[in-house]
Amino acid sequence: MSDRYNKENENVHTDFAERMTYGEYLNLDELLAAQNRLSSHHDEMLFIIIHQVSELWMKLTLHELYAAIDAIRQNELQPAFKMLARVSSIQKQIIQAWDVLSTLTPAEYMEFRDQLGQASGFQSYQYRMIEFALGYKTPHVLKIYKKNPELHKQLLDSFESPSIYDATIEKLSEAGFNINPDLIGRDYTQAYEYDASVEAAWAKVYKNVDQYWELYQLAEKLVDIEDSLQQWRFRHMKTVERIIGHKKGTGGSSGVGYLKKVLDHRFFPELWDVRTNV
């Protein structure tokens, strides 16, 4: 067994004097040096890593969402489906992260919570950009990022850009559905709101799946994403409630009260209503 093991591994590269290593490719020195605790408490490491990992997943989510929006607008729906399916898989990972954070007890968190100051997940700019990409535009949150002009511009560009649902509604119109013309090329800085013409279009799609197969697939991919995002929001709310109860959030929000309120928001309202009315 020992000889076989050595023979199978005899071609493994071990000389990296002039070659790039795995750690160098991934910038692991920088990545693994970024967990800087502000307290001496053991569990602060958990808190930092969970949030950093979630931000990495959100970066990939945005990468896929932006590419999917471009693909949809260029009428390349099959590649978009692959990207959106990947987003749904990413969301599962982020949802499960709450299970790990839930191992943090209230007493443990209070040992280092004051060290956070006013820093809060409420300020996650990537999460805001995901909301913008899905059509939920909230102008007041842009104020948070004025401290960094470059980041503020990035957020503003995202805020002013069409969402994936705007791109989808354009496809419905191009397919011959009688879409409210005010929705095409609308002011993208406004949060999307329900429109009867869009629900009527989706009703026809769902009643004629074979005829509108790609639009039906696109609709279901969007439902998958909103479903998972709402599950993420719910797990966030329950984890916060489990750890800090109904205390105010470090960022000044009402905490659990605010998180419960956002659960009522729908990104793609017609895709939910059509299930009742079709």
Is 267 marked within a binding site?
A: no
Is 236 marked within a binding site?
A: yes
Q: Is residue 30 part of a domain?
A: no
Q: Is residue 46 part of a domain?
A: yes
Q: Is residue 232 part of a domain?
A: yes
Residue 213 sits in a domain of what CATH number? 1.20.58.480
> pTM to 2 decimals?
0.89
Is 61 marked within a binding site?
A: no
Is 113 marked within a binding site?
A: yes
Do 124 and 55 touch, CB atoms closer than 8 A? Answer: yes
pLDDT in tens, the chain (278 residues): 555 656 666 677 776 677 889 999 999 999 999 999 999 999 999 999 999 999 999 999 999 999 999 999 999 999 999 999 999 999 999 999 999 999 999 999 999 888 888 777 778 999 999 999 999 998 888 988 988 999 999 999 999 999 999 999 999 999 999 999 999 999 999 999 999 999 999 999 999 999 999 999 999 999 999 999 999 999 988 988 888 887 776 666 667 887 888 888 899 999 999 999 87
Q: How far apart are CA 43 and CA 112, in angstroms?
A: 9
* Total H helices, total E strands in the chain: 13, 0
Q: Is residue 63 part of a domain?
A: yes
Structural domain boundaries enclosing 51: 38-276
pLDDT at 277: 86
Q: Is residue 73 part of a domain?
A: yes
Is 225 marked within a binding site?
A: no
Q: Is residue 16 part of a domain?
A: no
Q: How far apart are CA 214 and CA 77, in angstroms?
A: 7
Q: Is residue 255 part of a domain?
A: yes
Q: Structural domain tally of the chain?
A: 1
Q: How far apart are CA 198 and CA 205, in angstroms?
A: 11
Q: How far apart are CA 85 and CA 193, in angstroms?
A: 25
* Contact partners, residue 140, CB within 8 Å, separation at least 6: none
Is 48 marked within a binding site?
A: yes
pLDDT at 251: 63
Q: Is residue 64 part of a domain?
A: yes
Is 37 marked within a binding site?
A: no
Is 169 marked within a binding site?
A: no
Q: How far apart are CA 143 and CA 273, in angstroms?
A: 34
* Contact partners, residue 242, CB within 8 Å, separation at least 6: 102, 106
Is 250 marked within a binding site?
A: yes
